[in-house]
Amino acid sequence: MTLLNRIPVLGALLGGPGPSAQPTLEEVMAERYRERTRPRPGDEAYAHLLDLREALAAAVDDAKGVWLDFGAGTSPYRGLFREAALKTAELGGAEGYSVDYQLNEDGSCPAPDDTFDGVLSTQVLEHVDDPDAYLREAFRLLRPGGRLVLSTHGVWEDHGGQDLWRWTADGLARQAELAGFTVDRTEKLTCGPRALLLLLRRHGREHGWAGGGPIGLLLRTLALVDQALPRAIDDYVARGYRELGRVEGPSELFYLDVLLVASKPA
Ligand SMILES: C[S@@+](CC[C@H](N)C(=O)[O-])C[C@H]1O[C@@H](n2cnc3c(N)ncnc32)[C@H](O)[C@@H]1O
């Protein structure tokens, strides 16, 4: 451990990275679930995960019947389904999740056509080898009139684990239409400065800020505020840019996520 790691505030001032720790896989999974279900100010993606949870809650609030969480991981949004039953599907061996359907090697699900009233897909599309095949499989699994609620990234860091694709809101809508869906709406999540501040903080926490001059000082001040008052940036973003959490329409030019609500024609 370096001196900069031992003294975080000094590290921030000098532009060094913050402290590093090596959590176990179980701890990582538990934390991933906690962040998505109960985001806290100071979390890496606090405002973004708040926006995502809120948008998903609105999109599945009236869900009924049987839904499939397609690429469920820890299925962190299962608590949002008040009336519908939520089944889970995952790739074999994907971090040892226990699921209702283990997906075949080609990503297909061992369930008949028209099985589900809804398909939920959160932060999966950017990881799949073939987004078109994945969406066509979701389409096959849905009953006519069934609903797809899907979120994926707009502008976001390359987060590894086979992170392959990014979408604009219009691009995601077009991709869903190509697979046969009728698009009901798209929402841009965590937009403009609300997104920028999170991205800047993320970079600073990972790499520090090495540059000099007034801009370097500004960025190191941001890192210092983040280390001394870990909630401050999130409180500011939450209050000052609340209306940029969820936006429909063309006004916002960059955003961390896109939420798509679409349906299989009846
Ligand atoms: C970032 S995780 C998201 C997990 C969960 N949906 C969530 O919101 O926390 C991406 C998940 O997509 C799964 N995945 C990757 N390729 C897939 C495919 N072709 N079909 C279904 N799931 C896939 C991975 O196994 C992984 O669990």
pLDDT tens digits along 82-98? 999 999 999 987 666 78
What secondary structure does DSSP assign to 6-73, as a single string?
HSHHHHHHHT---------HHHHHHHHHHHHHS--TTSTTHHHHHHHHHHHHHHHTT--SEEEEET-T
232, amino acid identity: A
Mean pLDDT value of segment 53-80: 97
Element at 205 (helix H, strand E):
helix 192-207
| Protein residue with its CA nearest to atom 14 in ligand 1 | 71
Main-chain phi, psi angles of 188, to 5 degrees: -95, 130
Q: State in Å: Cα 68 to ligand 1 middle.
A: 13
Higher pLDDT among residues 95 and 205, named by residue: 205
Determine if ligand 1 sits within 6 Å of the CB of residue 122. yes
Report how far residue 126's alpha carbon sits from residue 36's, in angstroms, rounded to the nearest whole number: 18
| Protein residue with its CA nearest to atom 24 in ligand 1 | 71
Ligand 1 nearest atom to the CA of residue 72, by list position: 6
Determine if ligand 1 sits within 6 Å of the CB of residue 107. yes
pLDDT tens digits along 228-260? 998 999 999 988 899 999 999 999 999 999 999
Q: Which of 31-45, 88-102, 153-167, 189-203 has the lowest mean pLDDT?
A: 88-102
Report how far residue 71's alpha carbon sits from residue 124's, in angstroms, rounded to the nearest whole number: 6
Determine if ligand 1 sits within 6 Å of the CB of residue 90. yes
| Protein residue with its CA nearest to atom 27 in ligand 1 | 73
CA angle 48, 53, 58 (to 5 degrees): 130
Are 88 and 111 in contact by the 8 Å Cβ rule? The answer is no
| pLDDT classification of 29: cutoffs 50, 70, 90 | confident
Determine if ligand 1 sits within 6 Å of the CB of residue 91. yes
* Residue among 150, 77, 80 at smallest CA distance from 119: 150
Token pair for 52: 């995502």
Kindly give the residue spans of alpha helices, DSSP state H, lying in 113-191: 131-141, 169-178
Q: State in Å: Cα 215 to ligand 1 middle.
A: 38
Determine if ligand 1 sits within 6 Å of the CB of residue 29. no
Determine if ligand 1 sits within 6 Å of the CB of residue 119. no
Token pair for 142: 């849905």
pTM over 0.85: yes
- What are the domain boundaries of the chain? 22-192+248-263
Third-level CATH fold of 22-192+248-263: Rossmann fold (3.40.50)
Q: How far is CA 131 from CA 41, 93, 121, in A?
A: 33, 20, 12
Report how far residue 203's alpha carbon sits from residue 225's, in angstroms, rounded to the nearest whole number: 14
* Residue 89 burial (10 A CB sphere; 0-12, 13-18, 19+): buried
Q: State in Å: Cα 93 to ligand 1 middle.
A: 12
Mean pLDDT of the chain: 91
Are 181 and 264 in contact by the 8 Å Cβ rule? The answer is yes
Looking at the predicted structure, is the pLDDT value of residue 104 above 50?
A: yes
